[in-house]
A and B are shown apart, each in its own frame.
Chain A
Amino acid sequence: GQNIDQPTEMTATEGAIVQINCTYQTSGFNGLFWYQQHAGEAPTFLSYNVLDGLEEKGRFSSFLSRSKGYSYLLLKELQMKDSASYLCAVSPRGGSYIPTFGRGTSLIVHP
């Protein structure tokens, strides 16, 4: 089985940097996703990490440490539109590949 843990809520100021952590326990690991979900909308794909290290994509970066069962999503130069829920999801090795989603971290960006 899989167990995913991420903070329920975070607040940050416009223009700042915020790091959203995700820890996971899984019997087999294939990759880790981050999705963004605005209230009342569909989740949208942000990143997929398979190997250890940091992957940067514009203002968003995602880090993975497989040995520690740990990932974070780093958001730079925060904007008001970044207020959303950020979902961490882990895909198991082999079999279905269907990711298990965490409950999401609600990020509130203040002016």
Chain B
Amino acid sequence: DTAVSQTPKYLVTQMGNDKSIKCEQNLGHDTMYWYKQDSKKFLKIMFSYNNKELIINETVPNRFSPKSPDKAHLNLHINSLELGDSAVYFCASSPDRTGSRGYTFGSGTRLTVV
């Protein structure tokens, strides 16, 4: 199946832990993104990579570090997790950086920090 797949789907962890979320797309898209959707349902951009190069790094704590080993993968590592990090994290991709043909989102990772 052609898609954006992210793992894990659910992640429950204690404060202070370090965790990673993986994302892969087999659509041949050039651009990948990480979005955070909070309890109020706002989708906020965190990072964007185009052909493995970081192009957007919004105001996100430096505890969050993206890594793109190749243009089909964009992983997100989070250090020293805090309660406020609890949210749904969506990976997405688009054919090019304009996004004009729409984004394809992964199914999301629901992170709960306890």
Residues of A within 8 A of B (CB): 30-31, 33, 35, 41-45, 48, 50, 85, 87, 89, 91, 96-99, 101, 103-104
Contact = CB atoms under 8 A, between A and B. Distances in A.
B100 A43 contact: no
A87 B55 CA distance: 24
Contacts of B102: 33, 45, 48
B42 A96 contact: no
The B interface is mostly helix, strand or loop, or mixed, namely loop
A43 B99 CA distance: 14
Interface residues of B, number: 23
A104 B98 contact: no
Contact of A97 (B41, B44, B99): B99
B55 A96 contact: yes
Interface of B: 33, 40-45, 48, 55-56, 90, 97-108
Contacts of B106: 42
Nearest to B102: A45
Contacts of A30: 98, 100
Contacts, number: 52
8 contacts: A33-B99, A43-B90, A45-B104, A85-B41, A91-B100, A97-B100, A98-B45, A98-B56
Which 7 pairs across A and B sit closest by C-beta, in order of nearness? A45-B102, A42-B105, A101-B43, A97-B98, A98-B45, A96-B56, A43-B105
A108 B88 CA distance: 22
B41 to A, nearest CB: 5
A96 B43 contact: no
Nearest to B97: A97
A58 B43 CA distance: 27
A96 B108 contact: no
Given A48-B102, A96-B55, A41 B107 contact: yes
Which of A96, A99, A103: most chain B Cβ within 10 A?
A: A96
